Chains A and B, each alone.
Chain A
Amino acid sequence: AIQLTQSPSSLSASVGDRVTITCRASQGISSALAWYQQKPGKVPNLLIYDASSLESGVPSRFSGSGSGTDFTLTISSLQPEDFATYYCQQFNSYPITFGGGTKVEIQ
């Protein structure tokens, strides 16, 4: 199974900060990566797919990049509603796998 390693596992940031989260795959997955946001007590929400395509309705401050084994999710200017946990997911092959999550907290 392809393992996804997210870093950091948590971070503290302030409103307006630029935030970058990394997801590394144990083997190449081309661009078959998605990012989700999950707020406490809520369901995951799709942000990015195909590594860099923004899902409809998602604010443009979210962006994704990368291919192969190394991927990043960037929030250009952190907003109060962005404090949440973020997960990457690979869909290159079964079993589908998720990263361990990155919790973004208020500094």
Chain B
Amino acid sequence: EVQLLESGGGLVQPGGSLRLSCAASGFTFSSYAMTWVRQAPGKGLEWVSYISDSGGLTYSADSVKGRFTISRDNSENTLYLQMNSLRAEDTAVYYCAKNYLRGRNFFDYWGQGTLVTVSS
């Protein structure tokens, strides 16, 4: 059974940093690209960042470029999102999601999400 378990969310002041983790199990993690998607309270889904199966290729939304860094440790089956210079508008539930197949960038499994609140 595929499982994705996010952690690391919480309350942080504007300008602060957080690192989110997503522990994966139930599939060959190193064979799949992974993605972070966020959802602000009461709002829709927003794609945040993508990383290829090897970790050698990444993409990020303009809204987070230069502030957020996606990475992965295939030996530990874990996905990360380092978030710096956080802003109030980054407040959201952050989901990690498994990409369907190589080159097929939609998402067949999602974690339960971790809430990030940026507030003073």
Q: How far is the CB of B7 from chain A (nearest CB, A)?
A: 16
Main secondary structure of the interface of B (DSSP, over half): strand
B9 to nearest A CB, angstroms? 15
Given contacts A94-B50, A95-B61, contact A49 B104 (CB under 8 A): yes
* B59 interface hit (Cβ, 8 Å): yes
Q: Are B106 and A91 in contact (CB under 8 A)?
A: yes
Give chain A interface residues in 64-99, CB to chain B under 8 Å. 87, 89, 91, 94-99
Asked if A49 and B45 sit within 8 Å, CB to CB, the answer is no
Q: Is B105 an interface residue (CB 8 A)?
A: yes
Are the C-beta atoms of B44 and A101 separated by less than 8 Å? yes
Q: Indicate if the CB atoms of A98 and B100 lie closer than 8 Å.
A: no
Q: Is B73 on the interface with A (CB-CB < 8 A)?
A: no
Q: Does B112 contact A (CB under 8 A)?
A: yes
Given contacts A43-B95, A43-B112, A49-B100, contact A98 B106 (CB under 8 A): no
Query: Closest CB of chain B to A31's CB: distance in Å?
Result: 12
Give the residue of B37, B50, B59, B106 whose beta carbon is less than 8 angstroms from that of A34.
Answer: B106
B46 within 8 A of A: yes
Q: Mark B47-63, 1 if CB is under 8 A from A, else 0.
A: 10010000000010110
B32 within 8 A of A: no
Q: A43-B112, A94-B59 are in contact. Are A49 and B44 (CB under 8 A)?
A: no
Contacts of A36 on B, CB cut-off 8 Å? 45, 107
> A95 touching B106 by the CB < 8 A rule?
no
A43→B106 contact, CB < 8 A: no
Give the residue among B107, B110, B112 with the most A Cβ atoms within 10 A. B107
What is the CA–CA distance of A99 and B46 in the complex, to the nearest angstrom?
A: 9
Residue on B nearest A87 in the bound complex, by CB: B45
Q: Interface residues, chain B, CB within 8 Å of chain A?
A: 35, 37, 44-47, 50, 59, 61-62, 95, 100, 104-108, 110-113
